[in-house]
Structure 1
Amino acid sequence: MLKHLFSPLLVNGKRLKNRMVVPAMVMNYCNEDGTCTERFTAYHETKAKGGFGMIITEDFAVSPLGKGFKNLPGLWNDDQIPGFKAFTDRIHQHDTVIIAQIYHAGRQTSAAVIGQAPWAPSAIPCPFSPDMPHEMTLAEIQETVSNFGDCARRAKEAGFDGIEIHGGHGYLIAQFMSPYSNKRTDQYGGPLQNRIRFAQEIIRDIRRKCGEDFIVGYRISCDEFVTGGRTIEDTKAIVPYLEEAGISYINATAGVYRSFNAVIPSMFTRHAWIADLAAEVKKITTLPVLSVGRYNDPRVAEAVLASGKADMIAFGRQSLTDPYTPVKAKEGRFDDIRTCIGCHHGCVGNLMQNVPGACILNPFLGMESEITLEKTTDPKKVLVIGAGPGGLEAAIYAAKRGHDVKVFEKERWAGGAFRLAAIPPGKGEITTFTVWQLHELEKLGVQVVLETEVTPELVDSLKPDVIIAANGATPIVPKKIPGSDKAHVVTANDVLAGKVNTGSRVVVIGGGDVGAETANHLALNLRQVTLVEMLDEIATDEVIVPRWGLLEDLDQHKVRVCTGTTVQEIKDGSVVVSGKTNEEIPADTVVLAVGSRPNKELGETIKAAGYDVRVIGDAVKAPNNAWNAISEGFYTALEL
C-alpha cells in the first residue's frame, strides 16, 4: 500500500531509505548561545529511531543577528561544532540522513531577540515585529553571503550530510527575492535578475566552501499569498537559476509571516493543500521536490507520491505528535499512529511566546531525555472517573506502568468536552485522538465502561486503591440574566452533543472559543446566528492561525458578531442587549456559552469517605483545556 513512500531515493549521492522527511520546525531546545543540548539531541534522535528517512533540523542562525528566536541552534562560530558533531553521530546510528537548515531571519525578528534593529533589504517592518529594520549596505550583504557559506562549512565539519538554505517564509533571502519586501534600486533590487542575486551568491559561496558532494537544499515559498508577493509562476521562473547555482533539492512551501496561516496551516486547512504547487515546480526541474503542508496520514502522502506531484513528503507537526509514524506505517499499524490535529496550541502557541515547543497530544515531546516509563513495583487498583482526554491519558499510562485500571464514563461516547470540540467545522480530526486513546487501552486490556455513572456505592463495590477524578465540568447558566431559565435557552454543550435542536434564529451568548465555534457550527447548518460578547474581541482564547480560520469561517457563514455588548434580558422570542449594540434581537433559541464550573462534589464525597482521590482536568478548574487535562492525566499516572 505504501510502496512509493518506502522506496529509497538518492539526493546528491546520499541514499534516503524512504521518502518520509521531518522538515525544520522551531522548538527552542538549544542554549541561548546556539550550542547543542541533550534535549535537542534526544528530540531529534527519537524521530530517527521512529524511521524517518531524512531529518532537517530547525533554523541554524548564520550569525547572532540572524536569530528569530532566542534558543535556536547556531553554527556562526567554530566553538559550536563539537556539540553538533556528537549530535550527528547519534542520528547517523539510525540510518537517517541529517540536514541542517541554515537561515537569517532578516526583518522577521526583533531587538528583543537580537539586541538591535533587524537587518533587511528595505526599511519596511515585519507585520509581527515592532522594530524598523536597518537597510543592509552592500558590505553587509557580502558579509552575510560569507556567513551562510561559513555556516554550511561548519555544518559539514559537524557531520551533517548537507544543509538546507531557508529561502522561504519571508526570511532574509526571501525578503530580497520578493517585491513585497524588497524596494531597493541597486544591483539587489528591482527586476528578477537582481532580486535573486543574493540567493545565487549564497549558493555559490556554499558550494565553493563545501564542495560538490554536499547536499544543498533550498526551501522556497512557491506562493507568498500576500499582496505584491511572489506567485507560483514567479517561483517557476526562479528555480532554474537556483538549480544552475548548485542546489540539490527543492522544499516547496508557502507563505510569509503576514500570511502565517500558509506557513503553518491549522486544522482549517485541507490535507496536502499545496501539493499542486510542488507539482508545478516538478514540471520545470529534474531535482527532487519535497512537498509540505498538513500531511498527517502516510496514505495521503503515498497518493501524492504515486500521482507524481512530489518526490518526498514532509511530516512536520505529525512527527511531533508521533515520531514513530514511519515505523508504524511501514508495519501497517495505522491504528497505533497518534495523529496531529493541527490545533497549534503546543507547537505554535509556545513559539509565539518564545518558549520551548510542545504538543498537547504527546507529553513526551521535548522530554525524551528526562521521562522514562518504568514499571511500578507497587501495582494498584485504579478507578478512573471520566473518559475525556485527561482520564483516558491517565488510564493509558497507569496501565503501562503495571497498575490495574478501569474507566467509567456516564455518557454514551468517550472523549468528554474534547469530543464536543470536534463537532464544529474544521475540527473533526480531534476525534482521532480519542479513538487512538481507546485503541491503546484496548491493547492494554483496560475496560472502558460507557453510560455508567460513578456513585459512592459503585466506588465501595470496586474498592480501588486510587481514584482519578476526571469527571469534567458543568456549563454555567447565569441566573443574573432575566429569562435564562426559559425553555428555549440551552447550553452550547447540549447543542454540540446533539441533545437539543435549535430554531432558525439563534443568539449565542458568549464569544469565547466555545461560543464562537458553536455559532460557526449552527451557521454552517443554515441558522441565522448572532454572537453576543461583552469583550471587544471574540475567540481570544484560540491560537493565532486557528483563530484566523475561525473568524474567516464566521464571516463566510454570515454570523453577526456583537462585541462590547451585554445581555440585559432573554424574552420568549428575543434577546435584549446593550452596549455597542442596543436592540432587541429576534431569537427562537438562545445558546449559553459563558463558561463552566468544575464537578467537584463527587470527588470531595469520595475523598471524605477515605479514598485516595486525584482530581484532574476540568474537575479541578474550569474552563480548562485539553492540553492541561492530558498533561495532568499523564503526570498523575507517572506519580502513582
Structure 2
Amino acid sequence: MLNHLFSPFEIEGKQLKNRCVVPAMVMNFCNEDGTCTEKFTEYHEAKAKGGFGMIITEDFAVTPRGKGFKYLPGLWNDGQITGFREFTERIHKHDTVIIAQIYHAGRQTSKDVIGEAPEAPSAIPCPFSPDMPEEMTVERIREVIACYGDCARRAKEAGFDGVEIHGAHGYLIAQFMSPYSNKRTDEYGGPLQNRIRFALEIIEDIRKKCGKDFIVGYRISADEFVTGGRSIEDTKTIVPYLDRAGISYVHVTAGVYRSFDTVIPSMYCSHAWIADLAKEVKQVTHLPVITVGRYNDPRIADTVLACNKADLVSMGRQSLADPETPNKAKEGRFEDIRQCIGCHHGCIGNLLANIPGTCILNPCIGHESEITDVKTDKPKRVMVIGAGPAGLAAAISAAKAGHSVKVYEKNRWAGGQFRLGSVPAGKGEITSFISWQMNELKKLNVPVMLETEVTKELVSKETPDIIIAATGAKPIIPPIPGVEKDFVTTSHDVLSGKRNTGTNIVVIGGGCVGAETANHLASNLKSVTLVEMLPEIASDEVVVPKWGLVEELEKNKVRICTSTTVKEIKDHAVVLSGRVEEELPADTIVLSVGSKSENILAKELKEQGYDVRIIGDASKVGLAGAAISQGFELGRSL
C-alpha cells in the first residue's frame, strides 16, 4: 500500500524519506520580534516525529514591514539565528528535511500588524486591509531583494536545508508578477518580462549568498482565480524562467486573498482539487512539483502521485488534525488517522483573529509540551451520559488515564448535534471524526451503549464514582403566535430524519445551522425561504466556509430574507415583518433560532449527592472545538 507516497526522493542532494510534505501554515507561535519559541519548535517536532519527510515552516518575514501577522518567525537580523539553529537541530533528529518559507506580505497586511503603511508595487489596497499601501521605489525594491537574500543566508546559517520563496497567494512577489495588482510602467511593471523581474532577481541574490547546494523552492499560485489575475497558462509560461534562474522545486497552489477560498479551501471544496494544475506545471519543467489542496487521506495523495500529477504532496491542515498521519498510513492504520474536516474554525478562525492557531479536533496542537500522558493511581468508575464529541473526548482521555469508563447515548447514533451537522451538503466528513472517536474507545475497550437512556434508576444500579454529563442541547422554541401548529418542526428533527417536510418550506433563523438546514432542503429540490432577523446570514461561520455555504444557497435558489422577523404563523403560512412585509405560504415551518442546554437530569443527580461534571453544550451552548477540548481536559483531570 502507498508505494508511491512512501518512496524516497532527492532534492539538491537532500534525501527525503517519503513524499509527505507539511506546507507552511501561519500559527502565530513565535515571539512578536520574530524569535523562536519552544511552542513553535515542539509544534513542528511533533510532525517530524509523526513521519513527514519534509516540513516547510511558516512565512519567515524578510523584514519587519513584511509581516502579515504579529507572531510570525523572522530572519531579518542575525540575532534571530541562534534560536532557529536549535530548532533545526531538533527537527533533523527525526530524519526530516526542514525548509524555511521566506516572504514579504506586501499590501496584504495592515498598520495594526506592522505599525506603518504596507508597501506594494502599486497603490491598490488589499480587499482585506483598510490601509492604502505605499508604492515601492526602485531603490526600495532593490533593498527588499537584498533582504530576501540575507534572510536565506541566515536560514542556511541556522541549519535549514533550504528556503521556499513565497511567490503565491497574493503576497509581495505575486503582487509584482500579476497584472491584477501591478500597474507600474517602469522595469518592474507592464509586460511579463518586467513583472517577473522582481522574482528572478530575488532568486539570483539568494543563489549568490547561499550557493548551489542549498534548496531554493518556489511556491506559486497556478491560477489566481480573480478577474485580471494570472491563469494556469501564464504560470506555465513563467515557471521555465524560474527554473533557469535556479530554483529547486515548484510548490503549486492557487489564489490570492480576494479568492481566499482557493488559498485555503474549506469542506465545500473537493479533495486534491488542483492536482490537475500541478500536472500542467509538470509538463513545462524537469523540477520536482509539489501539489497541495484538501489532502486529508494519504490514499488520495498516493493516487495523485501514481497518476504522475506531482512528485510530492503537501498535507497541511491534515498535519494539524493528526501530526502522525504518515506513520499511521505507512503501517496501514487508516482507521487511527484523525482526518481534517475542512471546517476552518481552529486554524483560520484563530489566524484571522491574530491569535495562536489550533485544530478543533486536536486539542494538543500548540500545547505539545504541556500535554503529557496521564495515569491515575486511583482508578474510578466513570459514567459518561451522551456520546457527542465532548462526551466521547472525555471518555477517551479518562480511559487512557486508567479509569473504568462506560458511555451511554439515548439515540441510535453517536455524535450528537455534531453528527447532525454532517447532514447538509459538503459537511459529510464530520462523521469521520465521530468514527475516529468510536474507534479509539473500541481500542480502549470502553463500552458505548447506544439507544440507552440514562435514568436515576440506572445511575443507582451502576454506582459510578463520577458522572460526566454531556447531554447536549435542545432547540429553542420562540414565542411566535402559532408556533404550536403541527406543520412546525425544528432543524434538529429535520436533520436527524425524525421529521419529513413538504415542498414549500420556511426556515426561521439564518445562523449557520438554519442556513445549512435550508441548503439541505433546497438541495433536495424543495422550495425554501430563509428568514433571519440580522442583516446577514451565517454570521457565526468562518469566512471561507461561509462563502461556500452562500454559494450553495444561491445555486439551490434559496430565497433569503434578512432584517426580517416572523410576526405570526398561520395555517400553512407565515407573516413576515421588517425588510420584507408579506404573508408567505408554506406547508412546513422549520425553527432554527438556537439551542439551550439540556441538563435537568445532571442537576437532579448533583442534588442527590453524585459527583457530576457538566460539559459541552450541556454546560454552555457553543462550538464543537470548545466542547472537544473541555471533554479532553476533564477526562485527563479525573
TM-score of the two chains, using structure 1 as the length reference: 0.99
TM superposition shift of 1:183: 0.1
- Which residue does the alignment assign to 2:574? 575
Q: Once the 2 structures are TM-superposed, how far is the Cα of residue 625 of structure 1 from its aligned partner?
A: 1.5
| Counterpart residue number, 1:373 | 373
Corresponding residue SS for 1:605 = helix
Please give the residue correspondences for 1:449-528 in structure 2 after superposition, counting only pairs within 5 Å: 449-478=449-478, 480-528=479-527
Q: Which amino acid aligns with 2:526?
A: R
Could you tell me how far apart the structure 2 residues matched to 1:579 and 1:475 are? 24
For residue 600 of structure 1, report the CA deviation from its aligned partner. Answer: 1.8
Matches within 5 A, 1:621-632: 621-622=620-621, 624-632=622-630
CA distance in 2, matches of 1:400, 1:363: 15
Task: Give yes or no for the alignment of 1:603 onto 2:611.
Answer: no
Task: Report SS of the residue matched to 1:151.
Answer: helix
The Cα of 1:510 is off from its aligned counterpart by 0.3
Distance in 1 (CA, whole Å) between partners of 2:596 and 2:278 is 48
User: How much does 1:309 deviate?
Assistant: 0.3
- In 2, Cα distance between equivalents of 1:453 and 1:272: 42
1:599-618 deviation line (CA, Å, top 9, x unaligned): 12111000011011110111
Would you say 1:556 and 2:555 are equivalent positions? yes
In terms of mean alpha carbon deviation, does 514-523 or 371-380 score higher?
Answer: 371-380
CA offset at residue 597 of structure 1?
A: 1.3
1:94-127 Cα distance to aligned partner (Å, 9 max, x none): 0000000000000000011001000100000000
* 2-structure distance, mates of 1:629, 1:142: 50
Q: Distance in 1 between matches of 2:432 and 2:369?
A: 27
Q: What's the CA shift string for 1:178-214, capped at 9, x where partnerless?
A: 0000000000000000000000000000000000000
Partner of residue 396, structure 1: 396
Q: CA shift at 1:638, angstroms?
A: 1.8
**Which residue matches 1:147?**
147
- How far the C-alpha of 1:32 sits from its partner, in A, is 0.4
Residue type of the partner of 1:429?
E
- What one-letter code is carried by the residue in structure 1 that aligns with 2:28? N
| Structure 2 partner of 1:638 | 636
User: What does residue 301 of structure 1 align with?
Assistant: 301
CA apart distance, 1:373: 2.0
> Which string of whole-angstrom CA distances, capped at 9 and with x for unpartnered residues, describes residues 458-498 of structure 1?
111111111110001111112x2111000000000000000
2:13 aligns with 13
Partner AA of 1:381 in structure 2: R
Q: Which amino acid aligns with 2:405?
A: V
Q: Write the distance in 1 (CA, Å) between the matches of 2:369 and 2:465.
A: 31
Distance in structure 1 (CA, Å) of the matches to 2:371 and 2:298: 28
Q: State the one-letter code of the partner of 1:98.
A: I
Query: What is the Cα-based RMSD across aligned positions, in Å?
Result: 0.5
Tell me, what secondary structure is at the counterpart of 2:382? strand
SS of 1:531's equivalent? strand
Question: CA-to-partner distance for each residue in 1:577-605, whole Å, 9 max, x for gaps?
Answer: 11110001110000000111111211100
Quick one: which amino acid aligns to residue 437 of structure 1? Q
Deviation of residue 300 (structure 1)? Answer: 0.4
Matches within 5 A, 1:43-82: 43-82=43-82
Higher mean alpha-carbon deviation, 627-636 vs 407-416, is at: 627-636
Aligned residue for 2:338? 338
Partner of 2:2: 2
| CA distance in 2: counterparts of 1:212 and 1:363, whole angstroms | 41
2:102 aligned partner: 102
Give the distance between the partners of 1:85 and 1:533, measured in 2 at CA: 54
Q: For the residues of structure 2 that align with 1:477 and 1:402, how far apart are their CA atoms?
A: 42
C-alpha offsets along residues 492-551 of structure 1, whole Å, 9 cap, x if unaligned?
000000011100000000000110000000000000000001111000000000000000
Q: What is the DSSP-based 3-state SS (H/G/I as helix, E as strand, rest coil) of the residue aligned with 1:372?
A: coil
> How many angstroms apart in 1 are the aligned matches of 2:571 and 2:451?
34
How many residue pairs get matched? 638
The reply to whether residue 351 of structure 1 matches residue 342 of structure 2 is no
How much does 1:371 deviate?
Answer: 1.2
| 2:511 partner amino acid | G
Distance 1:105 1:216 in 2: 19
How far apart are the structure 2 equivalents of 1:75 and 1:380?
A: 51
Output aligned runs, 1:534-545, within 5 Å.
534-545=533-544
How far apart, CA to CA, are the structure 2 residues paired with 1:520 and 1:316? 29
Matches of 2:270 and 2:376, distance apart in 1: 43
**Alpha-carbon distance between aligned partners in 1 of 2:571 and 2:95, rounded to the nearest angstrom:** 69
Q: Matched residues in 2 for 1:621 and 1:39: separation?
A: 29
Q: Corresponding residue for 1:127?
A: 127
Letter in 1 for 2:507: V
Letter in 2 for 1:549: G
For 1:419-475, what per-residue CA distance to the aligned partner results, in whole angstroms no more than 9, with x for missing partners?
Answer: 000000000000000000000000000000000111111111111111110001111
Q: Secondary structure, in 3 states, of the residue corresponding to 1:418? A: helix
Structure 2 equivalent of residue 181 of structure 1: 181
Q: Which runs of 4+ in 1 moved over 6 A?
A: none
> Residue 285 of structure 1 aligns with which residue?
285
Q: Distance in 2 between matches of 1:108 and 1:73?
A: 17
How far apart in 2 are the matches of 1:486 and 1:625? 31
Q: Provide the secondary structure at the position in 2 that maps to 1:218.
A: strand
- Per the TM alignment, residue 151 of structure 1 is displaced from its structure 2 partner at its CA by 0.2
Matched position secondary structure for 1:471: coil
**Structure 1: which amino acid aligns with 2:172?**
L
1:409 deviation in Å? 0.2
Partner of 1:590: 589
3-state SS, counterpart of residue 24 of structure 1: coil
User: Residue 583 of structure 1 aligns to which amino acid in structure 2?
Assistant: E
| Cα deviation digits, residues 217-270 of structure 1 (max 9, x gap) | 000000000010000000000000000100000000000000000000000000
Task: Give the SS at the match of 1:551.
Answer: helix
Q: Distance in 1 between matches of 2:369 and 2:181?
A: 41
Q: Deviations over 1:7-54 (max 9, x none)?
A: 011111111110000000000000000000000000000000000000
CA distance, structure 2, for counterparts of residue 594 and residue 117 of structure 1: 42
1:170 is aligned to 170
- Is the partner of 2:407 in helix, strand or coil? strand
Deviation, 1:170, is 0.2
Match of 2:111 in 1: 111
After superposition, what is the alpha-carbon deviation per residue over 1:401-427, rounded to whole angstroms, capped at 9, x for unaligned? Answer: 101000000000000000000000000
Q: How many Å separate the matches in 2 of 1:207 and 1:456?
A: 73
Distance in 2 between the 1:149 and 1:625 partners? 44
Instruction: Find the counterpart in structure 1 of residue 238 from structure 2.
Output: 238
Structure 2 unpaired stretches of 5+: none
C-alpha separation between the residues in 2 aligned to 1:330 and 1:28?
A: 30
What's the CA shift for 1:92?
0.2
2: CA distance between counterparts of 1:389 and 1:574?
A: 37
Residues in 2 aligned to 1:560 and 1:422: alpha-carbon distance in whole angstroms: 23
d(CA) in 2 for partners of 1:596 and 1:258? 34
TM-score (norm 2): 1.00
Q: Report the secondary structure of 1:259's partner residue.
A: helix
Unaligned runs of 5+ in 1: none
1:7 alignment partner, SS class: coil
Give the corresponding residue for 2:312: 312
Equivalents in 1 of 2:424, 2:635: separation in Å?
31
Identical aligned residues as a percent: 72
Per-residue deviation, 1:397: 0.3
Q: Deviations 1:354-392 (Å, cap 9, x if unpaired)?
A: 000000000000000111121111111100000000000
User: d(CA) in 1 for partners of 2:373 and 2:565?
Assistant: 50
Which residue of 2 is the match for residue 405 of structure 1? 405
User: What SS is found at the alignment partner of 2:58?
Assistant: strand
1:128 is displaced (CA, Å) by 0.4
Identify the residue that residue 26 of structure 1 maps to in structure 2.
26
* Distance in 1 (alpha carbons) for counterparts of 2:292 and 2:595: 39
Aligned to 2:616: 617
Alpha-carbon deviation of 1:572? 1.5
CA deviation digits over 1:151-186, x for unaligned, max 9?
000000000000000000000000000000000000
What is residue 547 of structure 1 aligned with on the other side? Answer: 546
Per-residue deviation, residues 46-65 of structure 1 (Å, max 9, x unmatched): 00000000000000000100
